[in-house]
């Protein structure tokens, strides 16, 4: 329920390319389930941050989505705020869903993983991806979802304001449950980093803890 439905696709020649053109590139259009409230990226552009109650609820939903991917043998490979879609129900409830990464699975894909060009520090990248010929794994998905988590709570520009996740943990007076959770999500050694399944019982998701010790919201 927390994965955006992939409805279908269409393969066609770009409209501005004449049939007799030597350019044989084709366009693939993917159709996904309609998110009536857009993406998390768009929401954060407007509101800046999300209330802690929503951060907690949405992360639980996204961890469930990520667990489904990994249980199905799929590495997402490109998790960011633009991949998180928001659905407002007629009953007033809000659901978030993770949209799939289709581009990297297409034939002749460049295979280039995002490099966090919006970040001013390479330390935001999962350490294992700094090696030559490295490929995303389920553990890099966990790291990337951790960045989305921080952006929900502290703003998209957290990547600019801090040099790394460790800098966030060392600079802010985080509540103990949140600090413990982030310490696990951003473990440098991917072998010691928990899976999405292992993170779901974390204390932060089970208690009414604030993001910051000095804050009650």
Per-residue tokens: 215: 């804050």
DSSP H helical ranges for the chain: 40-47, 52-71, 138-154, 158-161, 165-171, 176-185, 196-199
C-alpha distances (whole Å) from 171 to each of 59, 189, 217 are 23, 22, 19
Q: Who's near 116: CB < 8 A, 6+ residues apart? A: 122, 124, 125, 159
pLDDT for 120 equals 52
Instruction: Give percent of the chain above pLDDT 70.
Output: 86
Single pTM value for the model: 0.88
3-class SS shares of the chain: helix, strand, coil, % to 5 = 40, 10, 50
For residue 82, pLDDT beyond 50: yes
| pLDDT at residue 119, as a whole number | 46
- Band (pLDDT 50/70/90 cuts) for residue 130 is confident
More confident residue, 102 or 30: 30
Q: pLDDT > 90: what percent of the chain?
A: 75
CB atoms under 10 Å from CB of 163, counted, come to: 16
């Amino acid at each position: 329920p927390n994965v955006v439905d992939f409805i279908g696709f269409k393969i066609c020649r770009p409209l501005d390319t004449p049939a007799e053109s030597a350019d044989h590139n084709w366009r693939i259009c993917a159709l996904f389930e309609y998110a009536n409230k857009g993406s998390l990226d768009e929401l954060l552009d407007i509101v800046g941050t999300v209330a802690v109650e929503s951060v907690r609820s949405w992360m639980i939903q996204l961890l469930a989505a990520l667990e489904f991917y990994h249980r199905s043998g799929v590495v997402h490979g490109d998790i960011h705020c633009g991949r998180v879609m928001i659905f407002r129900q007629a009953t007033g409830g809000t659901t978030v869903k993770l949209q799939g990464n289709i581009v990297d699975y297409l034939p002749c894909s460049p295979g280039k993983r995002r490099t966090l060009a919006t970040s001013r520090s390479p330390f935001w990248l999962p350490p294992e991806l700094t090696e030559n010929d490295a490929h995303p794994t389920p553990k890099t998905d966990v790291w990337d979802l951790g960045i989305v988590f921080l952006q929900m709570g502290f703003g998209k520009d957290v990547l600019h304001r801090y040099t790394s996740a460790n800098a966030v943990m060392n600079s802010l007076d985080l509540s103990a449950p949140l600090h413990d959770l982030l310490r696990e999500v951003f473990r440098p050694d991917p072998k010691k980093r928990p899976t999405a399944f292992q993170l779901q019982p974390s204390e932060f998701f089970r208690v009414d803890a604030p993001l910051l010790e000095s804050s009650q919201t």
